A and B are shown apart, each in its own frame.
Chain A
Amino acid sequence: MSMKVTGSGIVYPSGEIQLTPGYTGFRNLLINGDMPFDQRHCGAAYTVPTTDYTLDRWMVGSSVASKLSVQRVNDVPNGFDSALRVSVAAKYAPAAAEAFTLQQRIEGVNVTGLAFGTSGAMHVTTSHWIRSSVPGKYAVGLTNGAANRSIVGTMDVTTNWTRLAITFPGDTAGVWWGGNLTGLSLRFDLGSGANFTAPTPGVWQDGNYASAPGCIQFVNQAIGASLDITGAQLEPGIIATPFERTPIDLSERRCQRYYAKTFPQGTAPGRGLGVLGALGICTDSTPSYRLVEWTLPATMRSTPSLGTYSPFDNSINFCNSLANATSTPGGISVTDRHVLLAINNGQTMSTPAPDAFYIHVTADAEL
Chain B
Amino acid sequence: MSYKLTSNSIVVRIEDNVIIPADPANRDYAEYLAWVVAGNKPLPADAPDPKITIQAQIDQLEASTLMNRGSREGWIELIREKAATLGITDDATIAAQNPFFAKLIEVDNQVTSLRKKL
Contacts and interface: CB of A to CB of B under 8 A. Distances in A.
B19 A305 contact: yes
A334 B18 CA distance: 13
Interface stretch (B22-30, B77-85, B97-105): B22-30
Interface string A300-314: 011111111000000
B55 A331 contact: no
A288 B51 contact: yes
Given A305-B28, A365-B26, A290 B21 contact: no
Contacts of A330: 6, 10, 52
Interface in B1-47: 6, 8, 10, 12, 16-23, 25-29
Contacts of B17: 307-308, 317, 328
A367 interface: yes
Nearest to A309: B17
Nearest to B16: A307
B52 A332 contact: yes
Interface in A319-367: 328-332, 334, 342, 346, 364-367
B56 A180 contact: no
Contacts of A266: none
B86 interface: no
A181 B30 CA distance: 12
Given A305-B18, A308-B19, A330-B6, A285 B118 contact: yes
B73 interface: no
Nearest to A289: B55
Nearest to B55: A289
A215 interface: no
A342 B55 CA distance: 9
Contacts of B19: 305-308, 329, 331, 334
B91 interface: no
A291 B59 contact: yes
A295 B17 CA distance: 21
Contacts, number: 70
Prevailing SS type, chain A contact patch: loop
B18 to A, nearest CB: 5
A214 interface: no
Contacts of A181: 25
Nearest to B32: A305
Contacts of A367: 27
Contact of B55 (A290, A301, A307, A365): A290
Interface string A123-148: 00000000000000000000000000
A288 B29 CA distance: 30
Contacts of A289: 49, 51-52, 55, 118
Contacts of A180: 25
Contacts of B8: 331-332
Interface in A14-68: none
Most chain A CB atoms below 10 A, which of B18, B19, B115: B19
Most chain B CB atoms below 10 A, which of A289, A304, A329: A289
A301 B52 contact: no
Contact of A303 (B6, B23, B55): B23
A120 interface: no
A334 B29 CA distance: 13
Given A289-B55, A302-B26, A331-B6, 20 more contacts: A285-B118, A289-B49, A303-B21, A303-B23, A303-B25, A305-B18, A305-B19, A305-B20, A305-B21, A305-B28, A307-B19, A308-B19, A328-B12, A328-B17, A330-B10, A331-B8, A331-B12, A331-B19, A342-B55, A364-B18
6 contacts: A181-B25, A291-B55, A307-B19, A308-B19, A332-B8, A334-B21
Interface of B: 6, 8, 10, 12, 16-23, 25-29, 49, 51-52, 55-56, 59, 115, 118
Interface of A: 180-181, 285, 287-291, 301-308, 317, 328-332, 334, 342, 346, 364-367
5 A-B pairs with least C-beta separation: A303-B23, A302-B25, A306-B19, A303-B21, A331-B19
